Amino acid sequence: MVVGDFAIDLDTVVIGAGPGGYVAAIHAAELGQKVTVIEREFIGGVCLNVGCIPSKALIEAAHHYQHAMHSQVMGLQVTDAKLDFEKTIEWKNSVVSKLTGGVAALFKKHKIDVIWGSAYLKDAHSLRVIDEDDNAQTYTFNNLIIATGSHPIEIPNFKFNGRVLDSTGALSLKEVPENLVVVGGGYIGSELASAYANLGSKVTILEGGDSILANYEKDLVRVVERRFSAQGVDIYTNALAKKAEQDDNGVKVTAEINGEERVIEADYVIVSVGRRPNTKNMGLEQIGLATDERGLIPVDAQSRTNIPNIYAIGDVTKGFALAHKASYEGKVAAEAISGMPTVIDYHAMPAVCYTDTSVATTGMTLDEAKAAGFEAKKAQFPFAANGRAISMGSTDGFVRLVFDKNTEVLLGAQIVGAHASDLINELTLAIESGSTVEDIALTIHPHPSLGEAVMDAADIAIGFPTNI
């Protein structure tokens, strides 16, 4: 191998070190491949550094702050609860450092090399990497996994700078805004709105559609909206954000709401209207690698593109832009390169929104199950009848099971309420293993626990509603 005008030969190359890329790299190394990761910014990608992990750390801190101030009903009198936001940010950053450091240690353990820079494909077996000093080096490879992720969409008249923030900027504020506008009521915008409302901001959400959290069913969203109302969050749907004008003191957001133009003043505005795949300016067209009209890369059941030795996973492919989806696909791609017959074959892809009242779904909704030809039914149990939820003071929401009437096989589940992100795991496993609602009902759940609401919903499904 010679550095310079000659190419350096590599085996398996992964572009991107996010939750898709780093999992793919580690699993490929576990399978005996010699792996090299190309990363232009940071190990762990958006998720670990400026997305999933720091946002959940901020959300958790906000929960604790609210609990400290509003636990009088339990007999807890906190007389001097104060928020030191600088300390909160330090703690958030420490969480990020632990996880990114852990990934770096795993790379070292598995002898995974990291090349820093941006990759540009030359052909089906070679690429060039340009580092931050504009130094370039050519590499050849046997197999390639594209795991470059996505970036926030920037809308007209809301250029990301100063007081106009994307999700990354929203997680890097030095103080809690007194007033905050969030453009976009999807899961990222809603999570950030919920966190900052709990930290003390007066939050306004401007959503262009007819509902926030449009990918979730209406009755789930209504529970979240009630909590937003209790937090003092104003939600405007069918609202068109037209422009943002900022100065040293704040930002004025002009929006058309119900046909009327309004100006909302705030300290900052967060724009969260979706994400686009990072597939431009890396030479895909040059080598004939197919993309669709959205810039997504079509792949087969093994995450293989139209070029047989090049794979694509995560946000650059069709489907939900979820970290765990990317990790799953990364394992499939690594095994496909090793010649294993693994394919993408999941029946349920869980999704979670970590608002103050969290939402989690997996598998099919009732309408989706009926559209798929099932004679589907639902069974629902409220947290208001669950002993653990009552003892926690967290009785909002419910667990819903969707199942086939004839076979009683579980087809899907939806949860809104405390710890929905943890409860959905059992139901995802149940769907993947072909379990019936009777299997769930006959599984002993510890008492008292939130998980009993899953069992109680299953009891309702089989006709024995013991606890309601």
| Range 164-273 has CATH code 3.50.50.60 | yes
Residue 186 annotated as lining a ligand binding site: yes
Residues noted as catalytic? 447
| Range 358-461 has CATH code 3.30.390.30 | yes
So what's the pLDDT on residue 2? 39
Summarised one tens digit per residue, pLDDT across range 297-349 is: 999 999 999 999 999 999 999 999 999 999 999 999 999 999 999 999 999 99
Do the domains spanning 8-152+276-337 and 164-273 agree at the CATH topology level? yes
Residue 184 annotated as lining a ligand binding site: yes
Residue 397 annotated as lining a ligand binding site: no
Residue 196 annotated as lining a ligand binding site: no
- Confidence band (pLDDT; 50, 70, 90) for 172? very high
Q: What is the mean pLDDT of the chain?
A: 96
Summarised one tens digit per residue, pLDDT across range 101-120 is: 999 999 999 999 999 999 99
Whole-structure pTM value: 0.95
Residue 185 annotated as lining a ligand binding site: yes
So what's the pLDDT on residue 102? 97
Distance CA 321, CA 296 (A): 11
Mean pLDDT, residues 63-70 taken together: 89
Of 2.60.40.420, 3.40.190.10, 3.50.50.60, 3.40.50.2300, which CATH number belongs to 8-152+276-337? 3.50.50.60
Residue 45 annotated as lining a ligand binding site: no
Domain boundaries, the chain: 8-152+276-337, 164-273, 358-461
